[in-house]
Structure formats: structure tokens, C-alpha cells
């Protein structure tokens, strides 16, 4: 399916205004990520000195937050929403890609396919939302594959991941190595080199990878199929926006993905502005693909579908 740009019925001016880039916000997010990375190592060192397990857990969770924040910035950078200067946008997005070992150009190419061919096998993210695990065994397998590191490592080994250098035009592969060495050296300076592996590399391959895949399923999985109005092809999935206060704050708001359905309709608007437009009236979307819901409602819907009694 080739996604169409959906605009407000009578006010494209609002879209243009919300598409403007906040450079202050870009700077604040960069500083927040730098501070978060620093806190990861501080808490890891405190945990190492005090042998208090929950301090280690806190360091692990902060690392996951930082990596998701990096993912949000990389996403907006792939849409050229970090800076009005194309050069600055590419340098910033490449920095974020290098911090997580992701090629900006590979990510951008795959993400464009996700927008253009949503619901079909041509979408690289299609396997993540085509189906929902059915039954306890299927869920156990899903959680193991996505949260143990197995899925991330398998995607690396089989070259099905963004976690590679590729052939970027701005992001030199050597810079990715330098950034990873920098994170390693931070641990060495604190006399615990293993910090890099335990509190950056391991979170990246386990909790960060798992939450990212689970989020994609929450945002797109749909029990019903639909037909592409142009090609007649049977397609899968839908676009979901999440709302309702603390639910979204706990899960998606820090990462800017609450209104992912709206993002598919209005990709020119940065993630941090989507909440300002998500409740407006849209032109009719084929098959009513954009749906407003909450995280708890989606989780309940998914669990009910997964464990419904067989007829």
C-alpha cells in the first residue's frame, strides 16, 4: 500500500506551523540524552561500590530510556526534523545513529519503505505486526526472542537489521566505532570496563530491542485485514494513536510515539508536535485505518484475542 498524505479538512496552515522545527527542543533533547548517559555510569558505579541491586536496575532502565530517546531523535532526523539546516540535521542524526550502532541511511531507507508499503510484505517492519502471538507458548517464545537478545543478535547475523554501518553518505563507519569506544572508555575511567557491556550494549540488545518491537506491534497489529483500494491487495495492520495521561507517559510519551497513527498521516510534523493535532478531524482514511485508543485498551484487546477460547 502506498500511504497517502492526510491533511486537515480546512486548515493546512496549522500543519505548516506544526511542521516547523524547534531548535531549542532539539538542543534540550541532546543535553537530556548526554545527562542520561552520564547518570547510567554514575549509578552503575554507585551500585558497584555499594552492591545494591536496585541501583544497578536503575542504571539499566536509564540506559533503556536514553536509547529510546536516541531512537526518537534518529527517527525525526530520518524525516529531516532535527534542524532546519540539512547538514546539521544529518550530523546530529548520524551522531545518534553512531551512539546506537545504527546506520542513518539504512534506517531512513527502511523507514521510507515502512511508510510507503505499510500492510504488505514490502514493509521491512511487516513481520513485527502481521500477527499477534496466540496462546501462552507463543507469548513465551515472543518474549524470549525479543527480550533475551536472541532476536537482536539473529537480525545482526542475518543482516536484517539497521544495526550496521551500511554505506552512509554523511555517517562515516569509523565514527560509529569512535562513539562506541568513547562509551567503553567511560567505563575504563571508572575502573570498571564491563560497564559498557552491562549497561549499554546489553540493554540495547534486550530491553530496548524488545520494547521497540512490542511497541510496533501495539501501534500496528490488527485482527482484521483490509484491501488496498488501488491494487486490491489484501493488507494487514492499522494505525493507532495512544492517549490518556499517565498510561502514555509511562510507556510512549518520553519517546514521542504516542500518536504514531497521526505520524503516518502527517510525517512532516515532528513527534513532539503530534499531540497538538492528533485530536483534529481528518479526511476519511481508507478502511478507517487511524484509530484512537489507550495503551491499556490495546493491551486488553491483544490479550483477549490471544487467549480467546477456541470454538
- Mean pLDDT per block of 10 residues along the chain (311 residues) reads 42 81 94 93 92 94 91 93 95 91 87 92 92 94 94 73 43 67 82 86 92 90 87 89 62 59 86 75 50 84 86 54
C-alpha cell at 162: 539497521
Residue-level length of the chain:
311
Q: What 3 state SS string does the chain have?
A: CCCCCCCECCCHHHHHHHCCCCHHHHHHHHHHHHHHHHHHHHHHHHHHHHCCHHHHHHHHHHHHHHHHHHHHHHHHHHCCCCCCCHHHHHHHHHHHHHHHCCCHHHHHHHHHHHHHCCCCCCCCCHHHHCCCCCCHHHHHHHHHHHHCCHHHHHHHHCCCCCCCCCCCCCCCHHHHHHHHHHHHHHHHHCCCCCHHHHHHHHHHHHHHHHHHHHHHHHHHCCCCCEECCCCCCEECCCEEEEECCHHHHHHCHHHCCCCHHHHHHCCCCCHHHHHHCCCCCECCCHHHCEEEEEHHHHHHHHHHHHCCCCC
| C-alpha 237 chain-centroid distance | 17
pLDDT at 8: 41
Q: What are phi and psi of 6, to 5 degrees?
A: -105, 125
Give the C-alpha distances (Å, rounded to integers) separating 5 from 2, 115, 265. Answer: 10, 10, 5
Residue found by looking up cell 550530523 in the block: 91
Q: What are phi and psi of 34, to 5 degrees?
A: -60, -45
- In angstroms, the CA 16 to CA 36 distance is 32
pLDDT at 36: 93
pLDDT at 37: 93
Residue found by looking up cell 485498551 in the block: 297
pLDDT at 279: 61
pLDDT at 86: 94
pLDDT at 262: 84
pLDDT at 173: 60
Give the C-alpha distances (Å, rounded to integers) separating 33 from 65, 223, 249. Answer: 9, 37, 18
Give the residue extent of every domain in the chain.
12-306
Amino acid at each position: 500500500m502506498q500511504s497517502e498524505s492526510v491533511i486537515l479538512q480546512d486548515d493546512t496552515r496549522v500543519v505548516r506551523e506544526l511542521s516547523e522545527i524547534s531548535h531549542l527542543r532539539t538542543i534540550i533533547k541532546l543535553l537530556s540524552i548526554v545527562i542520561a548517559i552520564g547518570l547510567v555510569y554514575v549509578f552503575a558505579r554507585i551500585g558497584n561500590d555499594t552492591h545494591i541491586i536496585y541501583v544497578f536496575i536503575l542504571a539499566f532502565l536509564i540506559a533503556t530510556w536514553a536509547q529510546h530517546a536516541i531512537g526518537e531523535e534518529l527517527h525525526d532526523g530520518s524525516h529531516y526534523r532535527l534542524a532546519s539546516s540539512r547538514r546539521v540535521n544529518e550530523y546530529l542524526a548520524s551522531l545518534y545513529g553512531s551512539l546506537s550502532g545504527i546506520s542513518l541511511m539504512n534506517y531512513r531507507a527502511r523507514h521510507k519503505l515502512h511508510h510507503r508499503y505499510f500492510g504488505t510484505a514490502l514493509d521491512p517492519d511487516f513481520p513485527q505486526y502481521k500477527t499477534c502471538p496466540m496462546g501462552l507458548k507463543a507469548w513465551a517464545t515472543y518474549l524470549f526472542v525479543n527480550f533475551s537478545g536472541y532476536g537482536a543478535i539473529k537480525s545482526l547475523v542475518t543482516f536484517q537489521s539497521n544495526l550496521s554501518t551500511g554505506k552512509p553518505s554523511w555517517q562515516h563507519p569509523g565514527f560509529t566505532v569512535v562513539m562506541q569506544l568513547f562509551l567503553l572508555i567511560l567505563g575504563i575511567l571508572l575502573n570498571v570496563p564491563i560497564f559498557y557491556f552491562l549497561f549499554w550494549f546489553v540493554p540495547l540488545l534486550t530491553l530496548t530491542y524488545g520494547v521497540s518491537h512490542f511497541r510496533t506491534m501495539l501501534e500496528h497489529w490488527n485482527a482484521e485485514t483490509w484491501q488496498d483500494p488501488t491494487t486490491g491487495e489484501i493488507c494487514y495492520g492499522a494505525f493507532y494513536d495512544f492517549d490518556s495521561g499517565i498510561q502514555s507517559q509511562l510507556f510512549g510519551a518520553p519517546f514521542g510515539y504516542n500518536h504514531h497513527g497521526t505520524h503516518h498521516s502527517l510525517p512532516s510534523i515532528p513527534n513532539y508536535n503530534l499531540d497538538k493535532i492528533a485530536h483534529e478531524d481528518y479526511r476519511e482514511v481508507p478502511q478507517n485505518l487511524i484509530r484512537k485508543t489507550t495503551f491499556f485498551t490495546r493491551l486488553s484487546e491483544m490479550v483477549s484475542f490471544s487467549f480467546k477460547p477456541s470454538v
